[in-house]
């Protein structure tokens, strides 16, 4: 059980780091050596994307809960008196599948993040037919700039 606490503490630390501490540290000149060291690790683990970090944390939590459930460490019996007798089997199956569902949600989040290619402001625009010409031109220019930037990065990375 100590391992579970250590993993939970690490997950909480990662969340605090990603949401608040990282941006504050980047503003501190004394933290530059830290980011030179941690940058490659961030790129390898979660592509420096908060969304991917949280998606992968969901996957890890789901897998951890699945292992604990299979080991019998997580117990549903204290809640069973609140569930009608005829639904006990369904509740047990649902409880056992919940960790798997969390992992699948994490995988879906990561896949969606990797498929996202535009800022939300551009994604939320109505169909092209309803947009003024200036907005259509700006959206097309943004798409071209994104494609060019991605091609240059891929070319230099290989």
Residue 30's pLDDT is what? 93
Pairwise CA distance, residues 54 & 47, whole Å: 12
What percentage of the chain has pLDDT greater than the value 90? 2
pLDDT digits (tens, 9 = 90+) for 32-75: 899 889 888 888 888 878 788 888 888 888 888 777 777 776 67
Which percentage of the chain shows pLDDT scores above 70?
91
- pLDDT tier for residue 136 given thresholds of 50, 70 and 90: confident
Close Cβ partners of 128 (under 8 Å, ≥ 6 residues apart): 136, 139
* DSSP letter (8 states) at residue 65: H
Average pLDDT, the chain: 82
Please report the pLDDT score of residue 157 as a whole number: 80
Tokens 């003024």 correspond to 132
Helix (H, G, I), strand (E, B) or coil at 38: helix
- pLDDT higher than threshold 60 for residue 1: no
Q: In degrees to the nearest 10, what's the CA dihedral of 57, 62, 65, 71?
A: -130
- Quick one: pLDDT at residue 73? 63
Q: What is the pLDDT of residues 75-93, one digit of tens each?
A: 777 878 888 889 888 888 8
Dihedral over Cα of 51, 53, 56, 57: its sign: negative
Q: Rounded to whole angstroms, how far apart are CA atoms 125 and 142? A: 13
Mean pLDDT calculated for residue range 132-145: 85
């Amino acid at each position: 059980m100590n391992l579970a606490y250590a993993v939970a503490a690490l997950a909480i630390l990662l969340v605090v780091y990603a949401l608040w501490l990282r941006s504050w540290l980047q503003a501190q000149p004394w933290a530059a050596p830290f980011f030179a060291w941690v940058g490659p690790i961030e790129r390898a683990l979660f592509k420096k994307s908060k969304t991917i970090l949280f998606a992968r944390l969901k996957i890890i939590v789901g897998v951890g809960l699945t292992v604990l459930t299979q080991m019998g460490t997580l117990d549903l019996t204290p809640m069973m008196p609140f569930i009608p007798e005829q639904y006990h089997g369904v509740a047990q199956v649902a409880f056992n599948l919940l960790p798997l569902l969390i992992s699948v949600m994490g995988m879906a989040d990561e896949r969606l993040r990797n498929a996202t290619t535009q800022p939300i402001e551009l994604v939320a625009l109505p169909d092209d037919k309803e947009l003024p010409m200036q907005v259509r031109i700006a959206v097309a220019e943004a798409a071209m700039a994104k494609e060019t930037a991605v091609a240059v990065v891929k070319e230099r990375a290989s």
